A = this chain, B = another copy of it.
Amino acid sequence: MKRVLHGNLIFAPACGTVTCIENGYLVYENDRILGTFSELPERFQSASVEDFSGRLILPAFTDMHLHAPQYPMLGMGMDLPLLEWLNRYTFRAEARFADPDYARRIYAQLGKELVRNGTTRVCMFSSLHTDATLILMEELERAGISGYVGKVQMDRNGASYYQETTEQSKAETLRFLTACERFADIRPILTPRFTPACSDELMRWLGSIANERNLPVQSHLSENTQEIALVHRLHPDTERYWETYAKFGLWKPGTLMAHCVYSDEVERKAIKDYGVSVVYCADSNINIASGIAPIRQMLTEGIPVLLGSDIAGGAQLSMLQVMQMSIRGSKMKTIESHWTTPFLSVAEAFYLGTSAGAMYFGEQPGFSAGNRLHAVVIDDRRLPDTDRLTLTERFERAVYRTEPGDIVAVYGNGRRLK
């Protein structure tokens, strides 16, 4: 059955460009967009219309790096240095997901809060636990969220109470992959925590199944200077961090690498040449005081960049806030460069948090025909002067001022979720 969303359509067809269709029509059928129009074409006149006149209809958001089991600690431990933060909060928080009842309760809440904030597609780290990871996937599916979820692999440098043996990690990963076959919209992704947490044997095994089974891979890269020094000690045969993934077959098209704060020209070239994508996590970069990824440089060099909330290193689940913080992080690089490096515009951050994410999942940017319908509807009429602003101004203001309560409808895969 054909349906129509009627309202101000706003989307990013290219990085830095925003298209506004004032009181336009988005036509979809089942989960697929048929097209966007200024006037409703004759052939769709009989379609059922959901009337959001005067409101803003945007593509829903894509969060391409976040840690589901860190959701309960969101906003805590922010004064601690990275290692203490990991030991006092992170590993303990993740270890609690050995309890399936706890996982069920927390992940149901996470799914709801993602939808409440307009996020409908994710690339997510779970914990080490296969069962909790399957529960996470069930709860995301129930909430209407799609994307990739990975059981984390970690057989060294964890905590006494939170680590696998190499054999356990392999066996549980295989059990996870088999159990995932029952999901339609949530798919598995291989998730070695990061080089320091995975033995060579585990990395080699992961690389081989990644290639045998054509599975995507996500991990962390060049986030902080101490981490990079540790990687050098563990892999004295490599010059740069990325090679520790490449030598085991984990560096390939579609591989997602979070952070890349300290990726130099050579590492960035390897990212581009191999079709790896960078997930820029500005809020986390700042909160953990890692440093800030050179995002303008990466965009100029043609590297695919995506945005991630990176909860709980990032303290914000809302991707609109993540877009804001991506801009702020970029403005810090502008200041640092004595105003020679242009900062991310609102239009660029919006593209990265919507279209770029959709493209990672094989779609076209914006509300292109053929895409699955992922949309949020924002009511900005509580804010001053709404009736005298241009749509472009209202769009920009919505990025900065939307609160979860202003998001009055959310669609994921053609289904209304909120």
Judge if A42 is at the interface, Cβ distance under 8 Å. Answer: no
Bitwise, A286-318 to B at CB < 8 A (1) or not (0) is 110111100000000000000000000001000
A400 and B315 contact, Cβ closer than 8 Å, known pairs A76-B393, A106-B384, A343-B289? yes
- Chain B neighbourhood of A334, CB < 8 A: 289
Main secondary structure of the interface of A (DSSP, over half): helix
Judge if A97 is at the interface, Cβ distance under 8 Å. Answer: no
Interface stretch (choices A47-55, A152-160, A401-409, A410-418): A401-409
Judge if A240 is at the interface, Cβ distance under 8 Å. Answer: no
CB of A334, distance to nearest CB on chain B (Å): 5
A336 and B336 contact, Cβ closer than 8 Å, known pairs A75-B397, A76-B397, A324-B315? yes
Give Cα distance in the complex from A383 to B345, angstroms. 32
Give Cα distance in the complex from A399 to B316, angstroms. 12
Check A74 against B401 for contact (C-beta < 8 Å).
yes
A72 and B286 contact, Cβ closer than 8 Å, known pairs A335-B292, A400-B78? no
Judge if A115 is at the interface, Cβ distance under 8 Å. Answer: no
Copy tally for this chain in the complex stands at 2
Check B335 against A289 for contact (C-beta < 8 Å).
yes
Check B75 against A328 for contact (C-beta < 8 Å).
no
Taking CB as reference atom, which chain B residue is nearest A339? Answer: B289
Judge if A385 is at the interface, Cβ distance under 8 Å. Answer: yes
Judge if A38 is at the interface, Cβ distance under 8 Å. Answer: no
- Number of A interface residues at 8 Å Cβ cutoff, please give it: 44
A78 and B396 contact, Cβ closer than 8 Å, known pairs A106-B384, A384-B109? yes
Give Cα distance in the complex from A401 to B79, angstroms. 15
CB of A78, distance to nearest CB on chain B (Å): 6
Give Cα distance in the complex from A401 to B113, angstroms. 12
Check B78 against A384 for contact (C-beta < 8 Å).
no
Check A74 against B397 for contact (C-beta < 8 Å).
yes
For A79, A336, A389, which residue has the most chain B Cβ atoms within 10 angstroms? A79
- Chain B neighbourhood of A72, CB < 8 A: 384-385
Judge if A232 is at the interface, Cβ distance under 8 Å. Answer: no
Check B292 against A75 for contact (C-beta < 8 Å).
no
Give Cα distance in the complex from A286 to B282, angstroms. 13
29 pairs across A/B with beta carbons < 8 Å?
A: A72-B384, A74-B397, A74-B401, A75-B396, A75-B399, A75-B400, A76-B389, A76-B397, A77-B396, A78-B327, A78-B400, A79-B346, A79-B347, A106-B385, A109-B384, A286-B328, A286-B331, A286-B332, A287-B328, A289-B331, A289-B334, A289-B335, A290-B335, A291-B335, A292-B332, A292-B335, A332-B332, A403-B405, A405-B405
Q: Knowing that A76-B393, A77-B396 are A-B contacts, what are 9 other residue pairs whose CB atoms are under 8 Å apart, sorted by A's residue number?
A: A72-B384, A75-B396, A75-B400, A75-B401, A76-B396, A78-B396, A79-B347, A292-B335, A315-B401
Closest 6 CB pairs of A and B: A75-B400, A75-B397, A72-B384, A75-B401, A315-B400, A289-B331
Residues of A at under 8 Å CB distance from B?
71-72, 74-79, 106, 109, 286-287, 289-292, 315, 324, 327-328, 331-332, 334-336, 339, 343, 345-347, 383-385, 389, 393, 396-401, 403-405
